[in-house]
Each structure stands twice: as C-alpha cells, then as structure tokens.
Chain A
Amino acid sequence: MSNTDFVLAIEDLTVSFDGFKAIDNLNLYVDKGELRVIIGPNGAGKTTLLDLICGKTRASKGSIKFKNQEMTSLAEHRIVRSGIGRKFQTPSIYENLSVFKNLEVSFPRGRGVFGALKFKCTPEVKERIESVAGEIGLADQLETEAGLLSHGQKQWLEIGMLLMQEPELLMLDEPIAGMSVRERELTAELLERICRNRSMIVIEHDMEFVKKIAHKVTVMHQGKILAEGPMEKVQADPRVIDVYLGH
C-alpha cells in the first residue's frame, strides 16, 4: 500500500478468533487533527479494533499504518512510543499511587531499566504534571491517592496520563461511561481542547455526546464498516437506524 497523508490508515484488516471474524476486511482512514467517533452495537468489533491498533491483539491479515509506518508487527511499547495512546474502557490507573505519581510515571522519559533508575523529577517534569493536572481538573488533588478519586476523576486521570505522553493519536474507549451529566459536559469540553493538535478515535454509545464532539462518525457492525460520515448523514442512514439506532 502506498504512503498517504492520513495519520492512521487501516487497510484490509482482518482478525479471526477460531474462525469468527471479529474484524472483517476493514478499511479506515483518520486525518490529522480529526476527532473520529466509532459507534455500533455490542460485539461490532469496536474495542477489538482499538486492541489491534495498539497491538494488544494481533491482526490475522491487513495493514495498520501510523504516519506511514507499519504497526502490525511492532511490540506494544514501540507502538506507544511512536505516538499512539490508548485509554481502556474501565479506568486503568494505579490506585495505590498518588495522582502526581500516576502522571509522573506516564512522562515519556526514562523508559528503559537504567533510564528509570536515573530518572529525576526535574522542574520541567513537575511543570508538565501540573499543567496536565490543571487540564484534567485535578490540580488540587495531586497528592490524593488515585484509588480515592471519583469514577469520573479516574477517567480524567487516565486521559491525563495519556496526555503526558503527547500522543499524536489518542484512542479512548467509552470515556464517559458512568459519568454524571455535568461530568459528561466537562469531558466533552476537555476532548475538544485536547483534540486541537492531535487526532483522536473515540468509542461511545451516548448519541448526545457523540453529536457534540464528533467530526466524523464511523458505524461498525459485525466487524465491518456500515456507514461513515458526518453525524447527520449517518443518523439518517436507514441501515444504521436498522441495526443500531432503532426506529
């Protein structure tokens, strides 16, 4: 496949688990600075797609190119280092560490064994931690043990941990699950802000939220792409109404 201007170009991607094709010949292109939302019924393969991009699951066939570099054969930590960050569905933070430590560990320096031994929390690192903490609304809670945060704050903390790494592609799996209305609004604002200099893929079910944030929506069904385009167009698509949105 030839080189493209897309940040992420997925072509002919297939993965099968014991003959069941969770992702079936999928093609997906994400632009620079784009916020793409993926929707679809349960079992459509949305999370599997993110797993494939970040290397948690290996593709049976096809290619995933990030900035024209093939990702399918790279180790997980190499994929992350090339600039892809991924947030898991359930908040995945280090419960026993403070918010500060959670962010510090995510700072992209000292990633080798000896680098980690030599790593120093310089004023530069501290400044970065404080600015990210301000961004995610946890500036007052840097010393709080992460396990004591509310569910919504944990979700923000994990987003903050990804922001520490300045990824060019950020993938969020159901970032507002379990959040209150107010928290959802704040998260939408947060996503709009952090999307300014990077591309994002968000999986979400909440249609109001999707409408608010999405530049473009991809509807998945049975491992394939059912429809793609702006929210209004997708919402009017009879096939999408049929399998997902309902009449």
Chain B
Amino acid sequence: MTRLRTWLTSSDLAGIAVLALVIVVVLPLSLDIFRLNLVGKYLSYAFVAVGLVMLWGYGGILSLGQGVFFGLGGYAMAMFLKLEASDPESTKIQSTPGIPDFMDWNQLTQLPIWWEPFRHLPVALIAMLVVPAILAFIVGFAMFKRRVGGVYFAIITQAVALVLTVLIIGQQGYTGGVNGITDLKTMLGWDIRNDSAKYILYFATCALLIGAIFLCRWVQKTKLGTLLLAMRDKEDRVRFSGYDVANFKVFVFCLAAMLCGLGGALFVLQVGFMSASFVGIVPSIEMVIYAAVGGRMSLVGAVYGALLVNFGKTFFSESFPQLWLFLMAALFIGVVMAFPNGLAGLYNDYVKPRLLRKREPHSKPPEEQKPLPAASAHPPPVGWNPSVPRPRTDAKGVGPAAA
C-alpha cells in the first residue's frame, strides 16, 4: 500500500496509468453505451487540450483558433466517410447519383476535383494530419518569423477561425455549409453506427489519446521541451544563445495542430457528422478552457479538464440551456483568477503533499530528500584541485572557484 502511494505521488507515469484506468476500465464498466459514446466525444476534444498544453503551457503561445485544426481533421475524415456513404446505389434518387447529397441539392453535377482523393482512406488519414500541419506551418511561419506573439497572435488565430467558418458556410455546395457533412454510415464497409463499433471506436480513441500523451511527454523531456520552457521565460536569451526561436514555435504549433486534426477525425467517427459549428471562435475558446481548467502544464490534467467541462456542459445544457454559456465564462474567469494551474495545480498543491505526509511514518523519505553532504552530491568538476577549498553557498565564500 505504501509503495503504491509512493509510486502514485512520485512518478508522472502513475498519473497516466490512473487516467488510463479511468477511461479504459472504470468508465466503460459504469456507463451505458450512449453515455460512453459521449465520453468518447469528449476524449476527442482532449486531443486538442493535450496539444494546447504543449503550445500554451509549454510554448507560452496562446492560440484561440485550435478549432480550425480540429475542423480540418474532422472534415478530412467526414469527406471520406461521406463519399463512401454516397455510392450511386444509395443516392439513386438524386439528379446526379454518386455525389454527396448536399452537392446535389446545390445543383452540382460533378464531384469537385479536390474531393476525388478523399475516396481513399489512406489519403484521408494522411490529410487529417498533414492539412492541419500545413496550415499551422503557414500561419506560424508568417507570424513567428515576424515575431508576432502574445495577444496579437491570439487575435490572428481568432481571425483564421472566423475566416474558415465563413468559407465553409459560404461554400455550401462543396462543404455542406451550416448543416455540415451528415449521414455518415460506414468506414470501408464497417458500420460505425452500431454499439459494437462505438465500443471499438471508444477504445481506439483511448489508445490514441494515451499514445498522444506519451508522444508529448517525450517531447517535453527532450531538449526541445526545455527550450520551449526557456523561450517562454526569456525569449531573447534563447535567441542570443544561437537558436532560431521561430522554428521551435512553428514546430510546437504544427504538433498541436496535428493532435487537433486527429481529435477531429475521431470526433467524426464517433459522432457521425461534422459541421462548421466545431470550427469557429466559440468552440476554439471552449477548447482553451479545457486546458485551463485541467491545468495547462499537465498533459493528464488537460484530459480531465476536457472531460469535466464537457460533462458540465452536457449536464447544464440539458437542465439550464440558457445558463450554460454564462457558467462556462464564470468557470474560466474563476479558474484563471483562483487557481491558474488548474486541476493539476490543485492536485500538486493540496492532494499530493497530504498523500506524502501520510506516508512518512510508514516508510523512509525518498532518496533525493535525504540531506546529502554537498561534496558527494556531485562529482567534482574536471581539473578540480582538492587542495583548494571548495566554494560553498554560505555568505562569505560565494564565488567562482579560484583556478
């Protein structure tokens, strides 16, 4: 028991394991398939939140347009599924059979050429990652190379979200407009609407989400992760240490965009449609709230944030639909003012110390907490002369070692 507690409080892997336990075992056992499918939808938003931890928490870049990338990934998948659902047999009542229904309603008589590649699943899968990444690269390259950052960058991402929404709604014949792309049925002949498919898609989402968390955790632990933190703190120092700061920002923006795209595609598979309402400004800001509530420095926290805010949204919008937006705004303001590190911050500040305190009487403090004599803590530097007194941190002797 004590060993378990040590592990739970010391390792970030434990946090991931607990999360995996909750979403893979606890929730499927305790919820019916309708509710579980909702959780699956929330988990697809969690990809965006995880991306925002990297982008906003680590990189210090606040994007209020992540819905754009979520939407692009979602549309890539929806286009493939729609084409599969629009075979000539099932669309024979249309004036042009074999094209998606909304195109027929908009007097299109031929499939637009840029839809053609989406007949193939591999193309759709690649596009769901690459299209968001390319857009993020273009926007990021243009902004970060010109040293646009902070509020200005956030406003520009909002503008991109607005532009894409207007474009999607305006080009009804090509995108399905406000209604979006609906009536998605099968993927390579596999019916995605029945319960067993929903279970499989749910678990696939869980697996990919855990994979995404591990990927981001790895990035955080590389030098690039350290550089992101360093840039957030002192950008000029990083620049004048020989790094092209913009490239690192572009990278993390693209990484976050790809995670959004993956989330969007999984969303479409589980919810069965895609529309412009997931692209615009409001959903994009909502996505930032997931990360803020969960804790923008914690990958696992962001997932809980996405789950909780969405549970809240579902609960309150079922009971008090008019109040929900106000509640969400209050939640965001409250979180930012009262606990800026979100749920993860609360856990680290209050729960973890308590767990540690409980453990102390039973077991020894962990190794690194033992006060070690300074001399043995670190090997002496190269060329260290033992006859010269080692500089110590007390008031008098502070200073560079005399050579």
When A116-B224, A116-B248 are in contact, do A76 and B382 touch as well, CB less than 8 Å? no
For chain B residues 230-259, which have a beta carbon within 8 Å of chain A? 230, 233-234, 236-245, 247-248, 250-251
Query: Do the beta carbons of B398 and A140 come within 8 Å of each other?
Result: no
* Interface assignment of A77: CB less than 8 Å from any CB of chain B: yes
**Other A-B pairs, 11, CB within 8 Å; known A93-B234, A113-B247, A134-B380:** A54-B240, A77-B240, A77-B243, A85-B240, A113-B224, A131-B383, A140-B377, A140-B390, A161-B237, A165-B242, A186-B400
Given contacts A116-B248, A130-B381, contact A189 B226 (CB under 8 A): no
Residues of A within 8 A of B396 (CB): 182
A114-141 contact mask (Cβ, 8 Å, vs B): 1 or 0: 0011110000000100110111110111
Q: How far is the CA of A190 from the CA of B248 in the complex (A)?
A: 34
- The answer to whether B229 touches A88, judged by C-beta atoms less than 8 angstroms apart, is no
B-contact 0/1 string along A181-208, CB 8 Å cutoff: 0110111011001000000000000000
Q: Which of B251, B379, B401 contacts A135, CB < 8 Å?
A: B401
What's the nearest-Cβ distance from chain A to residue B366, in Å?
14
Cβ contacts under 8 Å, A136 to chain B: 400
Q: Are A127 and B382 in contact (CB under 8 A)?
A: yes
Contact partners of A76 in chain B: CB under 8 A: 239-240
Binds B, one of A37-45, A150-158, A230-238: A150-158
Q: How far is the CB of B220 from chain A (nearest CB, A)?
A: 11
Interface centre among A75, A104, A113, A193 (most CB of B within 10 A): A113
Asked whether, in the complex, the Cβ of B393 is within 8 Å of the Cβ of A140, the reply is yes
Expressed in whole angstroms, the Cα–Cα distance for A205 and B345 within the complex equals: 44
Q: What's the Cα separation between A227 and B379 when bound, in Å?
A: 48
Number of cross-chain contacts by CB at 8 Å: 140
Residues of A within 8 A of B250 (CB): 113
Given contacts A127-B382, A142-B378, contact A93 B242 (CB under 8 A): no
> What are the residues of chain A within 8 A of B219 when measuring CB–CB?
117
* B222-A119 in contact (CB<8A): yes
Asked whether B390 lies within 8 Å of A77 as measured between CB atoms, the reply is no
Q: Which residue of B lies closest to A106 (CB)?
A: B241
Would you list 7 pairs from A and B whose C-beta atoms are within 8 A, ordered by A residue? A77-B240, A105-B230, A112-B244, A134-B383, A139-B390, A182-B396, A182-B399
Q: How far is the CB of B317 from chain A (nearest CB, A)?
A: 39
Task: Kindly state the separation between the CA atoms of A139 and B401 in the bound complex, as whole angstroms.
Answer: 9
CB distance B398 to A105 under 8 Å?
A: no
Stretch at the interface among A13-21, A25-33, A94-102: A94-102
**Contacting residues, chain A, for B248 (C-beta < 8 A):** 113, 116
Known: A140-B374, A141-B393. A95 touches B233 (CB 8 A): yes
Say if the beta carbon of A216 comes within 8 Å of chain B: no
The answer to whether B377 and A94 touch across the interface, beta carbons within 8 angstroms, is: no
Q: Which residues from chain B contact A97 at a C-beta distance below 8 Å? A: 226, 229-230, 233
Contact of B117 with A by CB under 8 A = no
Find out whether the CB atom of A77 lies under 8 angstroms from the CB atom of B239. yes
Is A178 engaged at the interface, CB distance under 8 Å to the other chain?
no
Give every chain A residue within 8 A of B399 (Cβ-Cβ).
137, 182-183, 185-186
A contact residues around B378 at 8 Å (CB) = 130, 139-140, 142
CB-based nearest A residue for B230: A94
> Cβ of B382: which chain A residues have Cβ within 8 Å of it?
127, 130-131, 134
Closest CB in chain A relative to B87 CB, distance in Å: 43
Restricting to A63-122, which residues have a CB under 8 Å from any CB of B?
75-77, 80-81, 85-86, 88, 92-97, 101, 104-106, 108, 110-113, 116-119
Give the secondary structure class of B's interface: loop
Q: How far is the CA of A118 from the CA of B224 in the complex (A)?
A: 9
B242 interface neighbour in A88, A101, A111, A131, Cβ under 8 Å: A111
Q: Contact between B400 and A187 (Cβ–Cβ < 8 Å)?
A: yes
In the assembled complex, B403 has its CB within 8 A of some CB on chain A: yes
B119 within 8 A of A: no
Least Cβ–Cβ distance between B249 and chain A, in angstroms: 10
Point out residues on B near A: beta carbons under 8 Å. 219, 222-224, 226-227, 229-230, 233-234, 236-245, 247-248, 250-251, 374, 377-384, 390-393, 396, 398-403
Do residues B226 and A88 form an inter-chain contact, with CB atoms below 8 A?
A: no
Instruction: Give the Cβ gap from A86 to chain B, nearest Cβ, in Å.
Output: 5
- Please determine whether B233 and A94 come into contact, CB atoms closer than 8 angstroms: yes
The 3 closest A-B pairs by CB, nearest first: A134-B381, A186-B399, A80-B242
Using Cβ atoms and an 8 Å threshold, which residues of chain B touch A116?
Answer: 222-224, 227, 248
Q: How many whole Å from B84's CB to the nearest CB in chain A?
A: 37
- What's the least CB distance linking A3 to chain B, in Å? 25
With A113-B248, A130-B381 given, is the CB distance from A190 to B229 under 8 Å? no
Bound: A122/B398 CA distance, A: 29
Q: A196 — nearest CB in chain B belongs to which residue?
A: B403
Evaluate contact between B222 and A139: CB separation under 8 angstroms: no
Contacting pair B380 A86 (CB below 8 A): no
Q: What is the distance, in angstroms, from A13's C-beta to the closest C-beta of chain B?
A: 19
Given A134-B381, A137-B399, A182-B398, do A77 and B244 touch, yes or no (CB 8 Å)?
A: yes
Among candidates A96, A105, A135, A143, residue contacting B400 with C-beta atoms closer than 8 Å: A135
In the assembled complex, the Cα of A143 lies from the Cα of B248 at a distance in Å of 26
Q: B243 contacts which chain A residues (CB < 8 A)?
A: 77, 111
When chains A and B are docked, how far (Å) is the Cα of A92 from the Cα of B392?
Answer: 23
Residue pair A104, B400 in contact (C-beta under 8 Å): no
On chain B, the residues within 8 Å of A156 by CB distance are 400
Contact call A183/B398, Cβ cutoff below 8 A: yes
Q: When chains A and B are docked, how far (Å) is the Cα of A185 from the Cα of B223? A: 35
A140 touches B392 (CB 8 A): yes
A112 and B393 contact, Cβ closer than 8 Å, known pairs A105-B223, A105-B241, A139-B380: no
Chain B residues, CB < 8 A from A158: 237
* Cα separation A143 to B377 with both chains bound (whole Å): 10
B105 to chain A, nearest CB (A): 46
In the bound complex, what is the Cα–Cα distance between A49 and B239 (angstroms)?
Answer: 18
- Expressed in whole angstroms, the Cα–Cα distance for A113 and B252 within the complex equals 10
